[in-house]
Amino acid sequence: MQLVSLGDITEHKRVEEALQKRENCLRKQSKTLVQLAKSKTLQQGDLSAALREITEAAAQTVEADRVSVWLYNSDHSKVECVDLYDTITKRHSCGMSLLKANFPAYFQALEEQRSIAAHDACNDDRTQELSEPYLSAFGIASLLNAPIWLGGRLVGVVCHEHIGRIRQWTLEEENFAGSIADFVTLAIEASERKAAQEALQQSEAEFRAIFERSSVGIGLVDMKARIVDVNPALCQILGYSREDLSGKRFTDYIFKQEGDLELYKQLISGTCDRLEMERRFLHKDGKFVWALLSISLISSQNGEPQYFLAMIEDITKRKQTELELCESKEAAEAGSRAKSEFLATMSHELRTPLNAIMGLSQLLQQEMVGSLNDKQKEYVNCIYSSGEHLLALINDILDLSKVEAGKEELFLSKLLVQELCDYVISTVRDRAEEKKLQLIAEIDEQADFCIGDERRVKQMLLNLLTNAIKFTPAGKVCLEVKKVPQGITFTVSDTGIGIDPGQFKFLFEPFKQLDSRLNRQYEGTGLGLALTRKLAHLHGGDVTVESVLGKGSKFQLFLPNQPPVEGDARRFCEEIFYLDEEQSTQQQITVKKT
């Protein structure tokens, strides 16, 4: 008799089958990951091809209906589908997008979790936002999503989708999805690396083209001053071939100056970004070549100085022109100084006999040596008035020549504006009344004083007012004084004959009179305005003009708060502002302009 033992091993078999299935899945997943790791497509940097390979492999391994890769756009406002593989149609597609603002819970889950395993995607808190616009449209029941990270930043998501019935994702499948996302990261990095290499190659090609075709000489020099490479333009500048210059010391071709070594040390240490200097180079035939030399540093990847980049522009012709112009300028200045000194000397020489003529004619006018008949009085008066006119002309020539020769001295003091205006207005009032002109003075209350040489300021204002009266047949002449932030302005306006704007350039040139029918009837030498502007410049100010032909002119004299002075005189000039009015009118400063 035999005994047979029977037992139910159904559960045991089910567990064994589950274990076997799990082992097969793991083996399949491992095989896929190894194949992707060895894939040349991922290493070549073609992102589209790499993503197609990844999505197909992932879909076949986990038996998902669809696997897709979504990447953020440039401003991180939405994700865009760059590749979707459908296992039913076996086709790839792209183009869909999801706005981040419309699905806050889903995108927050992507940033916070390693994966989203939504078995029932339509009812899962993380993915139910996608139900109406996306899941229901494609019949998707379950989702397995893994975020894609690059450099610590979320850049997209790999999405595994199951259509139809709800599917339970296993822990192994979640881990596999994370690995697939890592491979997408590698593919993106390879693509960016390839793009960077291509950009570098393009940049190098462009630089080489510029290097070879540039009209400016370019040399690449190592840190020991040996020439590594030169372009054709530099070869032409120096007269050597590229082979002749290669390996030679760059400094052997430059005429160095004292302090050059210190400049190079500053460049290497980073004290300055670039050196620019004019230096002479030695040509092969022994002649000198003037060049504008610009030197900058090229550093290695670790930031260490590796090369000097020297840019050499041939400026020989320009330097020759500069030297010729300099010589011409010096000759012209010497001639101008000689002319001014001659005029100053001659003016003094002319004054001596002229003073005698005027003095003696004045005695005759006063009949100190006997009575005169009417004809004799007429002649004596003509002699005296002509002498006065000639003396005024000589004085203007003397003043102008002193300024131009740099021998004019200013005695600066604090001047009361009201007193200045009263003096000049009273001086020219008779001339204005003779022509029946209205003479007006308008002084700003804030314009109480100015800084200047009293005699010269009065002379400038008298010149402007006298000119205005002389060239105004009828109407009015106005002196307006205003305080401005930088100083004070004296504006002399009239309703006279006016000036053609095309003639402005001749106004302030000595011995120039404007060539117009209206103007030629008035006497004068053309020295007044030229002297006025030069005296204004000597004070640190200026004279400007506005005019309309036939309607009148407006001349403005500007005097600054602080005229330019030299040495310790500036301190005294500044102290003058703190003196009271009585003291300031007595304090004077002598400033010699050279």
Q: State pLDDT tens for residues 183-218.
A: 999 999 999 988 888 888 888 888 788 888 888 899
Is pLDDT of 563 > 60? yes
Is pLDDT of 173 > 60? yes
- Best-predicted range by mean pLDDT among 434-443, 494-503, 558-567? 434-443
Is pLDDT of 523 > 60? no
Is pLDDT of 570 > 50? no
Average pLDDT of span 292-296: 91
**Pick from 541, 393, 513, 389: nearest CA to 456:** 541
Q: How far is the C-alpha of 312 from the C-alpha of 321, rounded, in Å? A: 19
Q: Give φ, ψ of 234 to 5 degrees.
A: -70, -35
Is pLDDT of 508 > 50? yes
Instruction: Please list, in sequence order, all residues whose beta carbon lies within 8 angstroms of the beta carbon of residue 385, skipping any fewer than 6 positions away.
Output: none
For the chain, the straight-line distance linking the first and the last C-alpha, in angstroms and rounded, comes to 144
Average pLDDT of span 458-478: 91
The token duo for 8 is: 């139910």
The more confidently predicted of residues 402 and 305 is 305
The token duo for 431 is: 């001339």
- Of the pLDDT bands very low, low, confident and very high (cuts 50, 70, 90), residue 89 is very high
Share of the chain above pLDDT 90, in %: 40
- How crowded is the C-beta side of 289, counted as CA atoms within 13 Å? 21
Is pLDDT of 589 > 60? no
67: β partners? 85, 160
Return mean pLDDT, the chain: 83
Q: Which of 225-234, 503-512, 557-566 has the lowest mean pLDDT?
A: 503-512
Q: How far is the C-alpha of 451 from the C-alpha of 559, rounded, in Å? A: 8
Q: What is the CA radius of gyration of the chain?
A: 47
- Best-predicted range by mean pLDDT among 5-19, 94-108, 256-270, 557-571? 94-108
The token duo for 259 is: 């302090």
Is pLDDT of 268 > 90? no
The more confidently predicted of residues 31 and 590 is 31
The token duo for 247 is: 């390996």
Residue 381: its pLDDT value, please?
Answer: 82
Q: How far is the C-alpha of 96 from the C-alpha of 388, rounded, in Å? A: 100
Average pLDDT of span 290-308: 87
DSSP-assigned letters across all residues of 58-71: HHHHHT-SEEEEEE
- Of the pLDDT bands very low, low, confident and very high (cuts 50, 70, 90), residue 427 is confident
**Pick from 387, 266, 407, 272: nearest CA to 344:** 407
Q: How far is the C-alpha of 307 from the C-alpha of 300, rounded, in Å? A: 9
Is pLDDT of 263 > 60? yes
The token duo for 49 is: 């091809």
Residue 347: its pLDDT value, please?
Answer: 62
The more confidently predicted of residues 562 and 193 is 193
Q: Which of 69-83, 195-209, 580-594 has the lowest mean pLDDT?
A: 580-594
- Of the pLDDT bands very low, low, confident and very high (cuts 50, 70, 90), residue 526 is low
Average pLDDT of span 451-478: 90
- Best-predicted range by mean pLDDT among 14-23, 100-109, 335-344, 522-531? 100-109
Share of the chain above pLDDT 70, in %: 84
Residue 60: its pLDDT value, please?
Answer: 93
DSSP-assigned letters across all residues of 361-406: HHHHHTTTTS---HHHHHHHHHHHHHHHHHHHHHHHHHHHHHHHTT
CB 357 within 8 A of CB 386: no
3-state SS, residue 557:
strand
- Amino acid letter for position 207: F
Residue 407: its pLDDT value, please?
Answer: 60
pLDDT digits (tens, 9 = 90+) for 368-402: 778 888 888 888 888 877 777 677 667 766 666 66
Q: Give φ, ψ of 90 to 5 degrees.
A: 55, 40
Q: Which of 7-11, 49-53, 102-106 has the lowest mean pLDDT?
A: 7-11
Is pLDDT of 273 > 90? no
- Of the pLDDT bands very low, low, confident and very high (cuts 50, 70, 90), residue 178 is very high
